[in-house]
């Protein structure tokens, strides 16, 4: 996941607005107490997600993959008055911890946190979303795209995390035989060739695919 020179990355973070106190708490707790803390969006990517949200000023946001709530809190920052984020995660073991973080934040009224399989929950949603963030099991990225594209407003955005997968998606960098790598290679090609969206792949952290529905 480390593509930039370490000193350049530190310089970028040093010249990026600080995290809020609740985000710092989520970060510390995740690294101290949760398995695979590198799944956390973290400072730089978190500020990028917050900036996207402030720019778009979405009424409705959908997040697929809550983890410990860091990215949901970032995305909630720019949500319009009266709007909300629906964030879905399948890991019920983290539910009470994440609920606690959300309740402690200034965005508690804007966050609709649901536990369950996103592939089952999303088809039941009647809302149209202005912004969707995909950061869940990589094997199902293509399926998530298929079930959300018609639920995104025209001109709305989809952001998918980890699309560079530590560089494994690059030809010759891996044999592409593991399911996650193959799924991400297929997803990147799928959305790049989909005429319903415009796309740019940003080499930030582990890769962000930004899609605009046209």
Q: How far is CA 174 from CA 43, 118, 156, 163, in A?
A: 29, 29, 33, 14
- Whether 92 maps to a domain, the answer reads yes
Q: Into how many domains does the chain fold?
A: 1
What mean pLDDT comes out for the span 88-107?
A: 97
| pLDDT for position 61 | 98
- The alpha-helical segments, DSSP class H, found in the chain are 6-14, 21-33, 42-56, 70-76, 95-104, 118-121, 141-148, 179-192
What mean pLDDT comes out for the span 87-106?
A: 97
- Whether 120 maps to a domain, the answer reads yes
28: pLDDT strictly greater than 90: yes
- Whether 1 maps to a domain, the answer reads no
- Whether 20 maps to a domain, the answer reads yes
Query: Which domain CATH number covers 149?
Result: 3.40.50.150
Do 62 and 128 form a contact (C-beta atoms < 8 A)? no
- Whether 43 maps to a domain, the answer reads yes
173: pLDDT strictly greater than 80: no
CB neighbours of residue 110 within 10 Å: 21
Domain span at residue 34 reads: 6-213
pLDDT tens per residue across span 69-92: 999 999 999 999 999 999 999 999
179: pLDDT strictly greater than 70: yes
| pLDDT for position 176 | 59
Q: How confident is the model at residue 101 (pLDDT cuts 50, 70, 90)?
A: very high
What mean pLDDT comes out for the span 10-29?
A: 96
* Burial per residue of 134-161, b for 16 or more beta-carbon CB atoms within 10 angstroms, e otherwise: bbbbbebbbebbebbbebbeeebbbbbb
């Amino acid at each position: 996941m480390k593509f930039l020179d370490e000193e350049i990355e530190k310089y970028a973070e040093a010249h990026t607005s600080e995290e809020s106190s609740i985000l710092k708490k989520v970060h510390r707790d995740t690294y101290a107490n949760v398995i695979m803390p590198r799944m956390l969006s973290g400072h730089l990517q978190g500020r990028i997600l917050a900036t996207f949200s402030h720019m778009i000023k979405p009424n409705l946001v959908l997040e697929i993959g809550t983890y410990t709530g860091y990215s949901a809190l970032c995305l909630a920052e720019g949500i319009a008055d009266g709007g909300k984020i629906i964030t879905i995660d399948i890991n019920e073991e983290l539910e009470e911890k994440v609920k606690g973080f959300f309740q402690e934040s200034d965005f508690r009224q804007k966050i609709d946190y649901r536990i369950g399989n996103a592939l089952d929950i999303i088809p039941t949603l009647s809302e149209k979303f202005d912004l969707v963030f995909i950061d869940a099991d990589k094997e199902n990225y293509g399926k998530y795209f298929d079930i959300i594209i018609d639920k995104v407003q025209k001109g709305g955005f989809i952001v998918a995390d980890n699309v560079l997968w530590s560089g494994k998606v690059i030809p010759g960098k891996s044999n592409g035989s593991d399911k996650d790598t193959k799924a991400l290679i297929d997803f990147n090609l799928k959305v790049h060739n989909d005429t319903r969206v415009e796309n740019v792949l940003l080499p930030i952290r582990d890769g962000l695919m930004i899609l605009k529905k046209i």
